[in-house]
Structure formats: structure tokens, C-alpha cells
A and B are shown apart, each in its own frame.
Chain A
Amino acid sequence: MLSEEHALQLIVDSLSSLRRGGLIQADLTITGGTVLLGSGSALDSIAFVTFVTDVEERLNRATGHELYLVLTDIHEFNDEDAYLSAATLARYIAGMPELRATAA
């Protein structure tokens, strides 16, 4: 099981890592309201794909599960007006069926 807080910490760690690597130029203070995708995001498309891949790697290491983030599976995600915040992604990760099954 992975709590929303833990998932958010994974996201924070990933974004910090990408920033250290120079992929994100902006000086981000990452909170649940941080925009990952959509208007106001500090991530361009390449940075976003790299971020998603990095979060998947971290999830794999943290849980031992083969987990992949599928944006269209996120209930709140509207791909016609793409917008994703750190809190929304953390909520999706914590609610992934593979992780819920582990908890059960």
C-alpha cells in the first residue's frame, strides 16, 4: 500500500531530481497544487514524459510492482483540456488497483 502522502513525496523527489538534472529550469516549490501538465506547468513535453517514466521507476523500486501511469485512467483527467496537478497524480497512484490489492 502506498499512501497519498508517500505518492506525493515520490513526485516531489522525482521533480527535484529532474530539476537538479537541468530538465526543469524553474525554481519550483512543489506542493499538491503544483501543475504538472497544462497551463502553468514548468514541464515541457519531454520533461513531462521523463517525469512520468521516473515516477514509474520510483514506484517500481518502492513497491516491487510493475506499475505504469496511464493518464487516461485518472478519473479527473480530461485529455481534451489536459491538466494534472501533483495532488491529483498522488491520489491516482495511491488508488492504483495493484497497490490496493497488496493492502488487502
Chain B
Amino acid sequence: MTDGPVIAITGTSRGIGLAMAGYFAGLNYRVAGCSRGPCSLKAAGYFHTPVDVTDEKQVRGWIRAIKNQYGGIDILVCNAAMIPPASLLTATPLDIAEGTVRTNVLGTYLTCREVAKAMMLQRSGRIVVLSSMAVGLHEEGAAVYAASKSAVVEMTKVLAKEVASMGITCNVVAPSVFRASAIERLGEAVVKHALEQLTIKREVSIEEICGVIRFFAAPESGSITGQVVHMGLVA
């Protein structure tokens, strides 16, 4: 059993979330991950809970379980997100739009709300929300997804002001292309097209993404809040 910082990460069954969970477990963090489905990660210090982040009761139960097991939460990474297939706004079915907003916006809201309350009691904490390069690219076919990722940026900035006096910081990292399952699902052509529009025209590694999270989480970053780091892109 490790005694490193406690980090809660949503959406750890695949993609960036799974890679982040493995990265932080490898650094002896105590990692509490969740996702709707099972997680393949078997690492010391990692414990997984099946949670649908859009379900208030499940999110509350998960946060309480982490607190009961570890005594608190040092860092929250809101990663769980739904990436719908690229589709023009005029061709996007309502259920796809609703599902995307529900997972990406309301899931982030619920998780941040419950963890922020726990951190308020602790009088400390770091919240990092994942946005996306989609916010800066204004790509055709990504209207709903980009809107949802733009919404969490604004939500995080407002939350940052609300909880600043409680020793909690809230920041955003917007990764560019990470070769996760979601990106692979979009296809090589979409990935290639996205890369061409970036300032730094290559994929980012999990070490680079987690490096930004570690920067936000560092004790020396206590005065950095409400900020957005766009990776690979001049936003």
C-alpha cells in the first residue's frame, strides 16, 4: 500500500483516463478511478469503482467511499467524456447531443460539486478538468463536443473563484491529439487533419498530459487557478 497523494480520476476504463491512472499509480499515488465499465488496470495503489458520472447517487457514493478508504482527496481529474462521431450540427440527432452534454458537462459538474465539498472540509485540494483542442479548432462536425468542452472550461473558471478561499485550485488542461481509443475511433483522416491545424503538429504523450496535471497539483502552484493549458495549440 502506498502513502502518496490521493488522486481521483473519472473515466479510467480506456483512453487518456486509463493511461493517466497507470501513470499516477506508477508514481505511488493512491489512485481512485471510476468508469461505467470495468477497468483493465491492475496496479498497486489503484482501486476501481463502477460509476456513471451522470448518476448523482453513484457519484456521491464513490466520493464517500474514497474518503472512507483514504481519509480525503488531494487531486481530482475530471476526465470522463463522451466523444460522439463527427457529425455536422444540422445532422446531429438530439439523443447524441443530449448524451454528450450529459456526460461531459453534467458529469463534470456532479463530480466537481461532490469533490469540491469534500475539499472544502479539508481546506485544500486541486481540481483539474480535461477540455479539448476541439474548443480552439472550431472544426466542422464537432459542434456539440466542442460546446461541451467549452462549457467545462467556463464552469471550472467560475468554480475556481467560488472555492479559492478554501485553499482549492481549479484548472483546465486541453490535450491535443492523444492516440487513445476515442481518437482511433474517429479514424486516421480526422487525426491527420487535426494534427495539421496544431501549432505543434504531433501527438502528445501521457507523460506530457500528466506533467501539466502534476504542475497544477504541485504545492508551489497554490496561486494558479482558473487557468487553461492548451497543449500543442495556440488558442
Contact = CB atoms under 8 A, between A and B. Distances in A.
Interface of A: 21, 46, 49-50, 53-54, 57, 60, 66, 68
B121 interface: yes
Interface in B177-216: none
Contacts of B120: 46, 49-50, 53
A59 to B, nearest CB: 12
A46 B121 contact: no
B63 to A, nearest CB: 11
A57 B162 contact: no
B117 A49 contact: yes
A20 to B, nearest CB: 12
A60 B123 CA distance: 20
A68 B113 CA distance: 14
A49 B162 CA distance: 11
Given A21-B123, A46-B166, A53 B118 contact: yes
Contacts of B60: 66, 68
Given A46-B165, A66-B61, 18 more contacts: A21-B123, A46-B120, A46-B162, A46-B163, A46-B166, A49-B117, A49-B120, A50-B117, A50-B121, A50-B166, A53-B117, A53-B118, A54-B121, A57-B121, A60-B64, A66-B60, A66-B64, A68-B60
A43 B165 CA distance: 14
Q: Which among B117, B118, B123 has the highest number of chain A CB atoms within 10 Å?
A: B117
B83 to A, nearest CB: 32
Interface string B18-45: 0000000000000000000000000000
Nearest to B56: A68
Contacts of A50: 117, 120-121, 166
23 contacts: A21-B123, A46-B120, A46-B162, A46-B163, A46-B165, A46-B166, A49-B117, A49-B120, A50-B117, A50-B120, A50-B121, A50-B166, A53-B117, A53-B118, A53-B120, A53-B121, A54-B121, A57-B121, A60-B64, A66-B60, A66-B61, A66-B64, A68-B60
Contacts of A49: 117, 120
Contacts of A60: 64
A44 to B, nearest CB: 10
A13 to B, nearest CB: 14
Contacts of A66: 60-61, 64
Contacts of B118: 53
A53 B121 CA distance: 8
Interface string B86-107: 0000000000000000000000
